[in-house]
Structure 1
Amino acid sequence: MDGTARWALPLLFAGQAQKEITHNEALVLIDALLHARVESADLASPPGTPLVGQCWIVADGATGDWAGKMGAIALWTEGGWRFVPPRAGLCVAVADRDHRVFHEGTEWRAGTIRQDGVYLNEDKVVGARMAAIAGPVGGGVIDVEARSVVADILAALRGHGLIAA
């Protein structure tokens, strides 16, 4: 076995010459995967002037140096592109989406917590905080006030996506 089981990080061997090359390659891959962040998950061709250490998730229809690497994490290094195939459970922050994605074993999926709310199965179930609902203040016609407050509560729950509209 010349690589680790999960990420195929190169292993050192007894009597191996130039161990620093193998060790440094493993560190480059660990650096890309530890608290991973990619610039985008929507590019199908390599960016023109990447900076060393920047990463992307290769989109479908990849071309150029990324051809055949769909779904992989593309890492720009001083030695050129390195590609890391995703594994189930890998979670990555995507800069241009402002939320995380995770690999579920077959494909990348958007995370449930995003800037604009909480999602389940791509349906927003919690959105931005809405204004407070005033409670009934008493009076002669309690039924009308109660109905009004219940209607406001239902409108807020629908607005948050917690119940269907």
Structure 2
Amino acid sequence: MPPQAQKHVTHNEILQLLDAVAQLTIAGLAAAPPQSQAEGACYLIDAAASGAWAGKSGPIALRVDWAWVFIQLRDGWRAWFQSDTHPRSYQGGQWQEQASAGTVLISASTRPPMRPTDLR
């Protein structure tokens, strides 16, 4: 088969992965694939992974085209955790909680707030 054949397949796979990673929503922590395997579902794999996920602890499992795709995490990624409804960021091999939507962060800066005229 020529290397250019069925370019749309690779393109569609990349779009699916990009969609999952760009708006990462993690359904929960799981050691094995759940009974209900919804398309697009994403799980953080537990250290005690078993079954189809044995030996895969660490990455996230994404359900794409009726199969599990394993994605390695990168520092700086952000995700919404459905299980506890909190956003988290991945840094140094760990997920760290972020301020929830609607939470006001107060800066300790001594710099005065910007005015529209400051942008000129």
| Both proteins in one fold, TM over 0.5 | yes
What is the CA-CA distance between 1:69 and the residue it aligns to?
1.7
Letter in 2 for 1:98: T
Aligned to 2:7: 19
Task: Please identify which structure carries the higher strand content.
Answer: 2
Q: Distance in 1 between matches of 2:11 and 2:85?
A: 33
Match of 1:54 among 21, 36, 41: 41
Q: Is the 8 A contact 2:59 2:71 kept in 1?
A: yes
Q: Size of the alignment, in residue pairs?
A: 102
Aligned to 2:26: 38
What is the CA-CA distance between 1:60 and the residue it aligns to?
0.9
Percent identity between matched residues is 34
Structure 2 gap ranges (5+): 105-120
Aligned to 1:111: 97
Q: Distance in 1 between matches of 2:66 and 2:95?
A: 30
Structure 1 gap ranges (5+): 1-14, 119-165
What is the CA-CA distance between 1:104 and the residue it aligns to?
0.9
Residues 38 and 52 of structure 1: is their aligned pair in 2 closer, same or farther, counting only changes over 3 Å?
same
Aligned to 1:68: 55
What is the CA-CA distance between 1:47 and the residue it aligns to?
0.3
- When Rg is computed on C-alpha atoms for both structures, the one with the higher figure is 1
TM-score (norm 1): 0.56
Aligned to 1:158: none
Runs (4+) of structure 1 exceeding 6 A deviation are none
What is the CA-CA distance between 1:70 and the residue it aligns to?
1.3
Aligned to 1:29: 17
SS in 1 for 2:88: strand
**Greater RCO, 1 or 2 (C-alpha within 8 Å, sep 6+):** 2
Q: Distance in 1 between matches of 2:25 and 2:98?
A: 17
Letter in 1 for 2:9: I
Q: Distance in 2 between matches of 1:67 and 1:102?
A: 25
SS in 2 for 1:22: helix
Q: Distance in 2 between matches of 1:17 and 1:112?
A: 44
Q: Is the 8 A contact 2:89 2:98 kept in 1?
A: no
Aligned to 1:96: 83
TM-score (norm 2): 0.75
Letter in 2 for 1:85: Q
